[in-house]
């Protein structure tokens, strides 16, 4: 799984109650294809065992700096790692790391490595808020470590709720993926990317609306992939039936007009604009103020066009912005896609057939044809939407590199 295949992640575990979550993080990383080396501090072994991590990763779990036969273990681990994540990182560990100490295996590895480092604090909310802890976090960020802010929520038994809770393993996993992929290798790192996703709802009356079957899965996959590559991503999301992604900023909208306004506001600053949403093309000309009652005769709705979002951005797009559109068709898909590419002045259009099994709305797969401004076609096989998103963004990066 990109970007974990063939990569080595060192997972550091320190002595907090949240360390039970670290076992699941180790499992997620291993299942994604990473080789996971685990380093537990002595205090961590009071909460979780090395056997747990060895069973989940299939690799030796490490503890002592001076264990027999492992005199240079910190150097070997430091050099082998493509990324290092410490989760949980206790207040004590943050203090020692900020001070440049190397009095255990984990802090020694940090001093010996050139790999990017992600620290995930977890502690009592008062400990997190203490000025000394905050000064340590500032110091760690200043020297280049990424430090996540803890979540708010239930703390240890009897401690109530507050900021200090370790983020869930799935969230940390997403940040490790970003650490691996955006570390100087992606053209999108640091660029502003705007992605739209999902359907829109156009009201008929206070309880009914017109929409379509879009789940938003394709747009969410694109936003996730762009964010993983280091981009500053804003996802403009209509009503989604899929979970929102970790990382991107999310701007919620309901109607096509709301989506058009949001895209219009961001188009002047977007380096990449990807219109993956399926906004409604029509809306009722009038909206009833009360629920329309079922009668003896059929209801007839007068419809009007909604705003053409891509066309509306033509004069507002940032110079040299890369614009990607989608064409979901039921007839003459490629021909209609080519027309849309020209009419909307796109750099790339993604064409798919709504009637093809496994490639329409609400599924986890897609089969698309990519057509660029020069007219070249690339037909992709049936892939997961995550893989389709990566293929699209690989093309976007090649376009960006050519400008």
Residues 179-235: pLDDT tens digits? 999 776 789 999 999 999 999 999 999 999 999 999 999 999 999 999 999 999 999
Question: Is residue 162 predicted with pLDDT exceeding 70?
Answer: yes
Reference 37, options 68, 92, 83; nearest CA is 83
Q: What percent of the chain has pLDDT over 70?
A: 97
d(CA 164, CA 156): 10
Question: Is residue 159 predicted with pLDDT exceeding 80?
Answer: no
Question: Is residue 69 predicted with pLDDT exceeding 70?
Answer: no
**HEC states along 220-271?**
HHHHHHHHHCCCEEEEEECCCCCCCCCCCEEEECCCHHHHHHHHHHHHHHCC
For residue 158, what pLDDT is reported? 65
Question: Is residue 250 predicted with pLDDT exceeding 80?
Answer: yes
For residue 9, what pLDDT is reported? 98
Please give the mean pLDDT across all residues of the chain.
94
Tens-digit pLDDT profile for residues 13-65: 999 999 999 999 999 999 999 999 999 999 999 999 999 999 999 999 999 88
Of 212, 305, 352, 366, catalytic = 212
For residue 251, what pLDDT is reported? 97
Q: If you average pLDDT over residues 329-351, what whole number do you get?
A: 95
Domains of the chain: 8-181 (3.40.50.1950), 192-287+298-401 (3.40.50.10300)
Question: Is residue 68 predicted with pLDDT exceeding 70?
Answer: no
For residue 402, what pLDDT is reported? 87
248 versus 71: the higher-pLDDT residue is: 248
Q: Is 401 a catalytic residue?
A: no
For residue 296, what pLDDT is reported? 72
Q: If you average pLDDT over residues 314-318, what whole number do you get?
A: 95
Name 111's Cβ contacts closer than 8 Å, sequence gap at least 6: 100, 102
Reference 279, options 248, 308, 243; nearest CA is 308
Terminal C-alpha separation, the chain: 30
- Burial of 66 (C-beta count, 10 Å sphere; 0-12/13-18/19+): exposed
d(CA 317, CA 283): 26
For residue 298, what pLDDT is reported? 87
Question: Is residue 86 predicted with pLDDT exceeding 70?
Answer: yes
């Amino acid at each position: 799984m990109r970007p974990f295949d063939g990569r080595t992640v060192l997972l550091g575990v320190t002595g907090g109650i949240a360390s039970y979550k670290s076992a699941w993080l180790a499992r997620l990383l291993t299942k994604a294809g990473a080789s996971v080396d685990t380093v537990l501090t002595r205090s961590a072994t009071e909460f979780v065992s090395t056997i747990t991590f060895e069973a989940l990763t299939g690799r030796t779990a490490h503890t002592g700096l001076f264990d027999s036969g492992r005199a240079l273990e910190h150097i070997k681990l430091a050099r082998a790692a493509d990324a290092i994540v410490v989760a949980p990182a206790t207040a004590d560990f943050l203090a020692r790391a900020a001070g440049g100490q190397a009095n255990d295996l984990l802090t020694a590895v940090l001093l010996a490595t050139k790999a990017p480092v992600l620290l995930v604090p977890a502690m009592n909310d008062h400990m997190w808020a203490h000025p000394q802890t905050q000064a340590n976090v500032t110091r760690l960020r200043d020297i280049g470590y990424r430090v996540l802010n803890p979540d708010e929520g239930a703390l240890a038994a009897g401690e109530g709720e507050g900021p200090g809770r370790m983020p869930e393993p799935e969230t940390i996993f997403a940040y490790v993926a970003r650490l691996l992929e955006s570390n100087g290798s992606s053209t999108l790192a640091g660029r502003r990317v705007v992605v739209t996703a999902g359907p829109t709802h156009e009201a008929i009356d206070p309880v009914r609306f017109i929409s379509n079957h879009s789940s938003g899965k394709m747009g969410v996959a694109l936003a996730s992939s762009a964010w993983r590559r280091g981009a500053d991503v804003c996802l403009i999301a209509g009503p989604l039936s899929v979970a929102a992604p970790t990382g991107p900023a999310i701007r919620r909208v309901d109607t096509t007009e709301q989506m058009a306004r949001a895209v219009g506001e961001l188009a002047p600053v977007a380096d990449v604009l990807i219109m993956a949403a399926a906004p409604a093309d029509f809306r009722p000309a009038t909206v009833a103020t009360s629920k329309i009652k079922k009668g003896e005769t059929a209801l007839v709705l007068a419809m009007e066009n909604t705003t053409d979002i891509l066309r509306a951005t033509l004069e507002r797009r940032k110079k040299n912005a890369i614009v990607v559109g989608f064409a979901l068709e039921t007839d003459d898909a490629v021909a209609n896609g080519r027309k849309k590419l020209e009419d909307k002045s796109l750099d790339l259009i993604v064409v798919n057939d709504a009637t093809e099994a496994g490639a329409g709305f609400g599924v986890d797969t897609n089969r698309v044809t990519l057509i660029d401004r020069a007219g070249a076609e690339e037909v992709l096989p049936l892939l997961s939407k995550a893989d389709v998103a990566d293929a699209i963004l690989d093309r976007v990066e090649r376009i960006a590199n050519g400008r």
